[in-house]
Structure 1
Amino acid sequence: MSMQTPLLTFRPIDLDRHGALCVEFRADSYVCGDGDDRRFWATAGPAGEAYLQRLASYMAALPGSCVHAWLGDEIVGQIELIRDPEEPSAGKVNLFYLRADRRGCGLGAQLEGYALTLLRDCGLSGAWLRVSSTNGRALAFYARHGWVDRGRDVQFPDMHIMRKATGPLVDDAMRTGVALPATACSRKA
């Protein structure tokens, strides 16, 4: 008997209510990738205020780009996306995050589906992200989901650059039932 993966809902981050949780999730993402969170705190500010200001600017620039993933009434993950000023046709995934107790349950594909669909609907043809060379679980996820490893990042040699198109493969990811919030970009028919 197979268990069906529960469906996530995605809601824009409410920084007033959940800013501390955003900081916690982002710091933990560094622990997952780097083994510690020093690199995060070097630019986040003492209580994460600089990070939260950046997050607010991302949300203002691209509605729907920074969302919490909800499972029922519980926040279990976070996505952060930005338009890449150096590569206008692509979006950058700053963060795909699931709480430790929700990893390995099939929910990551829903995060990816949301992100790629939003970027596609905003007219972007691809997405890219950095992933730590020591984060085997993330590297395996991206390989399984068709992300192409473009090699080590010149700026951060311990990271790999991964890329993926936002075309037809997004439709496959959307079979999981992912829906965009009303605030997200959408093309006019």
Structure 2
Amino acid sequence: MVIENAPGARLNFRPVNLNQDSNVCVGFFEDMLLCAFGSAQQIQDPGGKQRYLQSLREKEAEVPGSIVHVWDETQIVGQIEMSLLKVEPAVGYIHFFYLTPEWRSRGAGKLLLAYATDFFAELGCERMKLSVSETNQRAARFYGHHGWIDIGPRQDRPELRLMEKPIGSAQTAGGSLQS
């Protein structure tokens, strides 16, 4: 799928090929951990990379198409990991939302949100949720600017804020999907 928005902002969304691009996934996850928490220890611990890649395989098996790479014309510039909440099946959850530094603050984030919104809408979801680190104010501002509501700290990890957004025809974040 391709999402277009502003002139020059054309991104292609393709399912992740873990056999070919597992190192890209790990690198993106490591960068996110550093940005959000100041440490990538979780993935650097013995077995951390394998646990992370196994979690991707499990998510993809549960909801096919839920792990995608974002491509510009020639390279991978982002990644989204999504699932359905087991306790609330009408709620889609974004586990990982990532753009490379050179693609941040260029309008591409709203294209990723449009993709995730459309993905969950096609699955019949009514709402989306995600978590953002207390220390990642840039991400919290981005989500708030795009209509996400902070619903408080996560019970299992109070250092993370849970955010939520309804899904509806007016909630698509401004992109247009093309197959």
C-alpha distance in 1, partners of 2:144/2:161? 12
Say what the alpha-carbon RMSD is for the aligned residues. Answer: 1.7
Q: Pairwise mapping of residues 33-182 of structure 1 onto structure 2 (< 5 A)?
A: 33-41=36-44, 45-46=47-48, 48-171=49-172, 173=173, 175-179=174-178
Given the two structures, how large is their TM-score scaled by the length of structure 2? 0.90
Deviations 1:152-185 (Å, cap 9, x if unpaired)?
11211111000011112334x2x423446xxxxx
Q: 1:139 to 1:5 in 2, by over 3 A?
A: farther
C-alpha distance in 1, partners of 2:155/2:76? 34
Count residues with an aligned counterpart.
Answer: 174
Contact 1:5 1:106 in 2 (8 A): no
Given the two structures, how large is their TM-score scaled by the length of structure 1? 0.86
One-letter amino acid of the counterpart of residue 45, structure 1: G
C-alpha distance in 2, partners of 1:92/1:126? 9
Contact 1:33 1:134 in 2 (8 A): yes
SS of residue matched to 1:170: coil
Give the percent of matched residue pairs that are identical in Structure 1 and Structure 2.
35
C-alpha distance in 2, partners of 1:137/1:169? 24
Contact 1:5 1:105 in 2 (8 A): no
C-alpha distance in 2, partners of 1:5/1:138? 23
Contact 1:68 1:79 in 2 (8 A): yes
Asked if residue 23 in structure 1 is aligned to residue 22 in structure 2, the reply is no
C-alpha distance in 1, partners of 2:8/2:99? 14
C-alpha distance in 2, partners of 1:68/1:166? 22
C-alpha distance in 2, partners of 1:169/1:162? 18
C-alpha distance in 2, partners of 1:145/1:25? 23
What runs of 5+ residues in structure 2 fail to find an aligned partner? 1-5
Deviations 1:113-169 (Å, cap 9, x if unpaired)?
111111111011111011011111101101110001001112111110000111123
The structure richer in strand per residue is 2
